[in-house]
Amino acid sequence: MASLQERYDAAQPVLARLGRVDANDVPLPNIVADEIAPDLARLIREACFGSLWTRPALSIEQRSLATISIITVLRRDDNLKGHIQSGLDVGLSPVQIVEIMIQLLFYAGAPIANTALRVAYDVFTERGIKVEPIRVFDPTEAPEALYQRGLAMRRQVVGDDLTAEFDREDEIDAAWERYMLEYSWGSVWNRPGLDLQSRCLCVLTAQTLLGTDRTISNFIRAALRLGLSEVQVKELFFHLTFYIGVPLARRSMALAKQVYGSGRV
């Protein structure tokens, strides 16, 4: 087992990959913590970057994508800028980062997605990055075609064995379900720029904070159906401990264990 100092030292290459070192490869300081809570500064380096980010079950790109997603949902715009910068430094493309915000639109809400997009825009501008936007939305498409594409995508991601979210006998619920099938599943989930695994990782990450037990369980099954392993799903919740806290992370881990035990994927 690695010593505490070895864990602390193991953070160095992670911080370098994340662009959190200066020209001399010295980690950038946490000025406030260094001055009034030096033990907190050490915990962040050792327990987060030296212990969690170095674990092998998820790639550093997947960890970055999940972290950008959770910081977006948490509305910690002060932290989001740094994590978007780190995402670019580990190899996420500007288009992928934009698609994270679009993917979260119907899960976190438009104000949050728009604010995150503005933070990303500022980072791109500071770095002189010109983003070539993806334009695939076709306003001339028949709504029925959009609906059918959404139905097919929802079936591919969450399957047929899904507790109904809407009462189809209720007029508003029926319209609401169609709305989600057209715009979330038919439009957003079908966009290029992020593969389905990555889109599911974004949503599952957001669900740990915003979702019900049922929706978290549904997207755990979706992640497994799309090729993420049980170990990777559990590792995601382990990773998020440092960002959402133990109670929420453990709730999702317990739900994952229930899903695995049920054999329903």
Please indicate whether residue 164 or residue 249 has the higher confidence score (pLDDT): 249
Task: Domain of residue 14: give its range.
Answer: 1-54
The answer to whether residues 220 and 104 belong to one domain is: yes
- What's the pLDDT at 263? 61
CA atoms within 13 A on the CB side of 66: 28
Tokens 């791109």 sit on residue: 124
What angle (nearest 5°) sits at the alpha carbon of residue 108, between those of residues 106 and 113? 85
The answer to whether residues 157 and 32 belong to one domain is: no
The answer to whether residues 26 and 101 belong to one domain is: no
Encode pLDDT of 44-91 as tens digits.
999 999 999 999 999 999 999 999 999 999 999 989 999 999 999 999
Amino acid at 75: R
Encode pLDDT of 174-205 as tens digits.
999 999 999 999 999 999 999 999 999 999 99
Residue 41 to residue 158: CA distance in whole angstroms:
41
The answer to whether residues 46 and 59 belong to one domain is: no
The answer to whether residues 65 and 25 belong to one domain is: no
Q: How many domains does the chain have?
A: 3
Beta strands of 164-253 (E only): which ranges?
none
Residue 253 to residue 113: CA distance in whole angstroms:
26
The answer to whether residues 121 and 195 belong to one domain is: yes
Q: How many CB atoms sit inside 10 A of residue 110's CB? A: 10
